[in-house]
């Protein structure tokens, strides 16, 4: 597994997409359902009805949902990397203490 989420990974995770245009509005919502059954929603709304294009809005709503899928897959990958680091004992940033994992002290975390 590469340590990067790609557009292809996002496409592969999607089982199907349902797009809905709310009548008499410029609001379009895309619901993508992933292979694991989880659904993610994206939306797009054109401010001026004169410029509303259903196909364009549907694509933008779908893209919005895909950005959220990307974030989920990115989190999933990071979790796998985190778990592998502990399995290989290669993680220096975390110390085990009674089953809890901590990363330094609060004084070390400065924003």
| Number of DSSP helices (H) and strands (E) in the chain, helices first | 2, 5
pLDDT higher than 90, residue 41: yes
E strands, the chain, in order: 14-21, 27-34, 39-45, 95-97, 100-102
Rg (CA), the chain: 20
The pLDDT score that the predictor gives to residue 92 is 56
Confidence band (pLDDT; 50, 70, 90) for 62?
very high
| Domain parsing of the chain, residue ranges | 7-108
How far apart, in Å, are the Cα atoms of 92 and each of 60, 86, 89, 101?
A: 42, 9, 8, 12
Q: What is the mean pLDDT of residues 37-61?
A: 97
Cβ neighbourhood burial of 59 (10 Å; 0-12, 13-18, 19+): middle
pTM for the model stands at: 0.74
């Amino acid at each position: 597994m590469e340590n990067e989420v790609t557009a292809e990974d996002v496409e592969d995770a999607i089982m199907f997409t349902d797009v809905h245009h709310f009548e008499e509005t410029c609001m379009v919502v895309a619901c993508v359902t992933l292979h694991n059954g989880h659904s993610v929603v994206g939306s797009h709304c054109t401010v001026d009805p004169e410029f509303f294009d259903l196909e364009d809005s549907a694509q933008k709503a779908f893209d919005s949902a895909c950005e959220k899928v990307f974030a989920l897959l990115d989190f999933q990958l990071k979790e796998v990397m985190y778990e592998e680091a502990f399995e290989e004992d290669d993680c220096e940033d975390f110390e085990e203490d009674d089953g809890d994992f901590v990363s330094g002290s609060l004084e070390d975390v400065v924003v």
